Chains A and B, each alone.
Chain A
Amino acid sequence: MNPVGRVYYGFSSLLCMPNAMSQPGGYSLGAQAGEAAIRQIATEAGFTRFRRAAETPLNLVYEARP
């Protein structure tokens, strides 16, 4: 866990979560959803191939293909 993760979790608790919880849809991922959650979303949406394409200290890049 790096300091960036702390920042994102803080904003997630105060901004992202209230926003997501106030909307219909049933998903409240937060700012730090992680690969498992994103993968499930993509799979449920119909993508059959999903992989982590790249990674930096700040970002994860996923590749989803039908």
Chain B
Amino acid sequence: MPKSGWFWKGISNGLVLVAAAVTLVSCESADKAPATAAITAAQGAIDAVKGEAAKYVPDQLSALEGTLASAKASFEKQDYKAALASAQDVAAKAKDLGSAAAAKKAELAKSWEGLSGGLPQMAEAIKSRVDILSQSKKLPAGLDKDKLESAKAGLASLNQSWTEASAAFQSGNMTDAIAKAQAAKAKAVECMTALNMPVPEAAK
């Protein structure tokens, strides 16, 4: 090949490389704006449901925030395609997160409605029975003094849990309120069983 041929081939190869580099850079630049917009949208979508999600589905919120952090990390590394994909995924899942939080809130509200109506009745029935049995000269079959004392302590514990549950509910902490009310219910069931009282169907 003549010298001039080598010269032009070199020029040609150089141009191809430059063109490839320009194409790559322009592609990256083309992905950067959508990735930026997607991350902003994803952040906004999370912020919109964060308040309720943190209360009712904190684990799901945490997972989604992790995905968003991953999208931001990809963006920092200039991997805009990965950042875009992750951020779009977050935005879609944030809507599901809002629905999940609303569903959990409704479920807890329904539980609270039942517990707040039923537990005072159970506590009242136990107190009545404990008061009467405390006046008895001889305890009935299946019940001894130790069991009665244990039931009295259980009643005090149930009342304490119920007071705490009510306070948690008043302060808007529904999850804690339900947990404490469930503890009170378990104690009520234990007391009623020890006292040979039938346990309400809803508490079983």
Check if A and B associate: no
